């Protein structure tokens, strides 16, 4: 069975860590989420490895638009804007992608073909203006923590990671272009995590990612820590809990000892997981049609955890 918040509370009560008051109830939740974060902060574990598939869409430039200086409203003529374009970027000028400011699309009124930009247009007002809607930013899963280190067969292996996103943004504005991306960077915002690509993808492609996630937020008694339901999971969580409490009390020797034991149990959990075989769903390169790479699952054969 999965190790739940209710089980964790019982563990703390047995050790006389907290009483049963309302304040203690809030502390249980705070400690449980602190322990979950500590587990994931210790290192990347295979039980937190996930795979996500997103589509990157080709630039769209059918028709023209009318823009007004100082206004965030863009009206299309001969266009077919869709709600799926929200969150993408609109480049406004004549020709292909110009050396100008990309505007994030905030809303799309499909029936009237009116787009609202996140910021007001600062260029020259006009009608019959050429544009491109691009998809260089891809939303990552909500609990995304970090990308898996790419293997030689992965599309990310052939690309240059950009540790400072400011460098990628400068490239994007100074040398706007489309093509096969060769540079990527991860942005973690207060609302969502994103993967940025440069140059702007010039064609539609399936983008499959191996990544590690943070544990689920624990709030109710039935919420679990997100570890596989194997015997070592209970020992792993409880040792991390002892480490968390020792650190809170400034007992660093006990903290280090508990962390060492917890790491052993976490390693035991990972060793019980089996690799996906070649005929099971896994990762694919940037371009469609690639072969699956190695992944890990704890579900039944042929079923990959979402």
Taking residues 140-146, report their average pLDDT: 91
Sheet containing 126-129: give its strands across.
126-129, 64-67, 73-77, 114-117, 102-109, 89-92, 131-134
Phi, psi for 26 (deg, rounded to 5): -65, -35
Model pLDDT for residues 253-279, shown as the tens digit of each residue = 999 999 999 999 999 888 877 554 333
Q: Which residue has the higher pLDDT, 61 or 303?
A: 61
Nearest CA to 193 out of 252, 246, 112, 139 is that of 139
pLDDT value, residue 158: 76
Range with lowest mean pLDDT among 64-73, 128-137, 232-241, 287-296: 287-296
What rounded mean pLDDT belongs to the chain?
Answer: 82
- The reported pLDDT for the residue numbered 20 is 59
The whole-number pLDDT of residue 259 equals 94
User: pLDDT for 82-132, tens place per residue?
Assistant: 999 999 999 987 444 444 678 999 999 999 999 999 999 988 888 999 999
Are 284 and 51 spatial neighbours (Cβ–Cβ below 8 Å)?
Answer: no
Low-confidence winner among 76-80, 113-117, 165-169 (lowest mean pLDDT):
165-169
Three-state DSSP at 83 gives helix
CA 303/CA 295 separation, integer angstroms: 12
Q: Pick the residue with more confidence: 15 or 250?
A: 250
Angle, vertex CA 267, rays to CA 262 and CA 272, nearest 5: 130
236 pLDDT more than 90: yes
Q: Which tens digits make up the pLDDT trace of 42-61?
A: 988 888 988 888 888 999 99
Instruction: Supply the pLDDT for residue 2.
Output: 86
- Residue ranges covered by each domain of the chain: 5-49+214-274, 64-134
């Amino acid at each position: 069975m999965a190790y739940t918040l209710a089980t964790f509370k019982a563990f703390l009560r047995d050790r006389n860590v907290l009483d049963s008051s309302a304040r203690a109830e809030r502390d249980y939740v705070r400690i449980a989420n602190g322990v979950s974060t500590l587990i994931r902060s210790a290192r990347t574990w295979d039980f937190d490895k996930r795979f996500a598939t997103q589509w990157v869409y080709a630039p769209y430039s059918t028709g023209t638009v009318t823009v007004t200086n100082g206004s965030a409203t863009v009206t299309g003529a001969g266009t077919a804007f869709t709600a799926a374009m929200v969150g993408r970027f609109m480049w406004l000028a004549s020709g292909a992608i110009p050396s100008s400011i990309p505007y994030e699309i905030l809303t799309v009124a499909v029936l009237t073909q009116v787009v609202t930009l996140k910021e007001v247009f600062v260029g020259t007002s006009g009608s019959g203006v050429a544009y491109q809607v691009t998809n260089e930013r891809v939303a990552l899963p909500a609990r995304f923590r970090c990308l898996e280190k790419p293997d030689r067969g992965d599309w990310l292996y052939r690309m240059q990671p950009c540790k400072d996103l400011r460098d990628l943004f400068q490239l994007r504005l100074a040398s706007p272009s489309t093509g096969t991306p060769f540079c990527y960077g991860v942005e973690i915002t207060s609302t969502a995590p994103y993967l940025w690509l440069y140059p702007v993808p010039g064609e539609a492609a399936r983008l499959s990612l191996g990544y590690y996630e943070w544990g689920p937020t624990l709030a109710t008694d039935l919420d679990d820590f997100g570890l596989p339901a194997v015997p070592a999971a209970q020992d792993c969580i409880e040792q991390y809990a002892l480490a968390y409490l020792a650190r809170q009390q400034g007992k660093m020797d006990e903290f280090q000892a508990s962390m060492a034991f917890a790491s052993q149990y976490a390693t035991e959990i990972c060793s019980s997981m089996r690799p996906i075989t070649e005929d099971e769903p896994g990762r694919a390169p940037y371009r469609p049609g690639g072969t699956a790479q190695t992944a890990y699952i704890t579900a039944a054969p042929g079923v990959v955890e979402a």
